Structure 1
Amino acid sequence: MNYTQRDPLGTYKAPFNPPLGPSTRQGPGPELMGADTLIGNSVFNGSDEDIGSIKEIMLDMRSGRIGYAVLSFGGLLGMGTKLFAVPWDALSLDVENKRFSLDVDKERLKAAPGFDADHWPNMANPDWAEGIHRYYGIEPVSSDRPI
């Protein structure tokens, strides 16, 4: 299910690509989107492989920024599913296909630092955050950088 299908308020009914000239678009998407509609969206890599789905969006309550998307990958019927915290800046929205893209191959994701639902990492730990950002090749966002 993608964000247009999980839109109980009709946020994304207006076209994303209005004709040239003054914008006739109404509603916030895709520059500003409801977090609730993004949970469950598929994530694909550059090889067009399905590498999971977004299970949670983690907000940095001090800065008001999105810190991480928690992806699930692998397993069968929820058994053996591994969770991954991916820096939000590592993801890009694929508006055409209504899904997210992450520039990582399946083998690299399988080897990524992950966790299970009963053992979440301390995402507020700066050492943990630095390691995750480094793994995905993303510069950590400092708390003094403007939004």
Structure 2
Amino acid sequence: MQTSGHSLISSSDVNGTTVYSPAGEQLGSIDHLMIDKVSGKVVYAVMGFGGFLGLGEDHHPIPWGKLRYDTTQEGYVTDLTREQLEGAPARDADWYRDRDWEERTHRHYGVHPYWM
């Protein structure tokens, strides 16, 4: 992925990008993004992790503010641990419509809710 001095990126280029811990451990990769329809802001990166060759992989919505792009690794870095990801609040198929779940998730990850 070349940035050529530009800070914009297509969502299709974000999908599949590796997510690393600060120590350089590969935690998973971004499966897709969730965007607030009203503000247009990226709110979550849904990250796939665990499993083997895509089998048994779990997906967790990570607040976008917990990721920063590292040009040297050509991936995103987060301060989250594998244990925090595994201990995230349980969600159902409609998690993105459940404000209570979003509040618990933002508290779990220690970030300010995007809607406040």
Per the TM superposition, whether the score is higher than 0.5 is: yes
| CA RMSD in angstroms, aligned pairs only | 1.8
| Number of the residue aligned with 1:137 | 110
| Number of the residue aligned with 1:73 | 49
Alignment of 1:20-99 (within 5 A): 29=6, 31-99=7-75
Which residue identity does 2:79 align to in structure 1? D
> Which of the pair is proportionally richer in helix?
2
- Post-superposition offset of 1:122: 2.3
- Post-superposition offset of 1:83: 0.4
Gaps of 5+ in 1: 5-11, 17-28
- Post-superposition offset of 1:13: 6.2
Gaps of 5+ in 2: none
Alignment of 1:94-133 (within 5 A): 94-113=70-89, 119-133=92-106
The aligned length equals: 116
CA distance 1:124–1:50, shift in 2 (3 Å)? same
TM-score, normalising length from structure 1? 0.71
- Post-superposition offset of 1:107: 2.0
CA distance 1:13–1:91, shift in 2 (3 Å)? closer
Q: Distance in 2 between matches of 1:33 and 1:93?
A: 11
TM-score, normalising length from structure 2? 0.88
Cα offsets for 1:98-133 (capped at 9, x unmatched): 100111122222222356xxx534213211111111
> Which of the pair is proportionally richer in strand?
2
Q: Distance in 2 between matches of 1:13 and 1:136?
A: 29
Give the 3-state SS of the residue equivalent to 1:123 in structure 2: helix
CA distance 1:113–1:121, shift in 2 (3 Å)? farther
